[in-house]
Amino acid sequence: MYHYNADKHKGFTSLKFPELQSLKDRVFNNSWQIDALRHVTRQLKSPIPEWSGTMQMFQQGSSTGVSDITFLPMIDLNPSDMSCIYSTLMFVSKEASRQGRTPVITFDQPLYWKSIMITSGEECSNIIVRLGSFHTQMSFLGSIGRIMSGSGLKEVLELIYAPNAVTHMLYGKAVSCAFRGFMLVDTALHTLMTNEIFGHDVLEEHENEINYSPISIEHPLLTEACEIYEHLQERKSLSKMHLIVKLYNSYKNYYKRNGMS
């Protein structure tokens, strides 16, 4: 056990925020191409899987395997007690030093800021503290609700969900509802933009789908996108993925023409 001395540790007073690294010369993956392909083909092909299903179709190779989880001795203290958190961090730091590894530990939001307060000092500065995935997702969804406040997003979501539920969704509380609602709005916007950019009649397509009539696709880029998606389903070569850049540029030019960022 290690007793946490608040006078000894400076807390957030020694915390520094360095400048963000420039993103100009960094190498990014090409998952945005799959995202653009899914946005276009979603209204051209039915049924189509959600984002996780699309990524599963795209990814190849073996999985990472099963994680090994081992329970360590319990610390008989309140989990939110600073001494309990400090003792845990010291234990993780020493075990990682023995293995020659960088210690990484994950906390939920209530304990995250306390652990950051401890690791901002010199003694545990080698520990990387991560916010739990659920609270990270809540924070991200809540940021969307805050940034898009007054944009009409709240009114659109209230056409589907109850007003009280929408309030929680925009604060990042109702995670499952917020995720489905935001994805639905995103799909609707891209459907309307596809109709505007490529002259694809969404209403006619919907009627054809109800009447089991074939969907007519006139724009060559949309035809190419459907062919790429079929190759993706059959796990064939994706040599034509560079054509997705043309789709992306079409959307980007549409944003500029309409003063969107």
Question: DSSP string spanning 206-244?
Answer: HHHHHTTPPPP--SHHHHHHHHHHHHHHTT---TTGGGH
Residue 117, in any domain of the structure = yes
Q: Of 27 and 155, which is predicted with more confidence?
A: 155
Residue 116, in any domain of the structure = yes
The residues near 11 (Cβ < 8 Å, ≥ 6 apart) are: 117, 120, 121
DSSP 3-state of 131: strand
Neighbour-count burial of 173, counting CB atoms closer than 10 A to its CB (0-12 exposed, 13-18 middle, 19+ buried) = middle
**Cα–Cα distance measured from residue 52 to residue 41, given in angstroms and rounded to the nearest whole number:** 15
Total domains, the chain: 1
Give the pTM: 0.65
The DSSP 8-state label assigned to residue 30 in this structure reads S
**Cα–Cα distance measured from residue 153 to residue 168, given in angstroms and rounded to the nearest whole number:** 13
Residue 44, in any domain of the structure = no
> Considering the chain, what percentage of its residues have pLDDT values greater than 90?
17
Residue 177, in any domain of the structure = no
Residue 82, in any domain of the structure = yes
Residue 157, in any domain of the structure = no
The token duo for 175 is: 């995670």
Residue 22, in any domain of the structure = no
Q: 213: pLDDT confidence band, cut at 50, 70 and 90?
A: very low
**Domain of residue 85, residue span:** 76-131
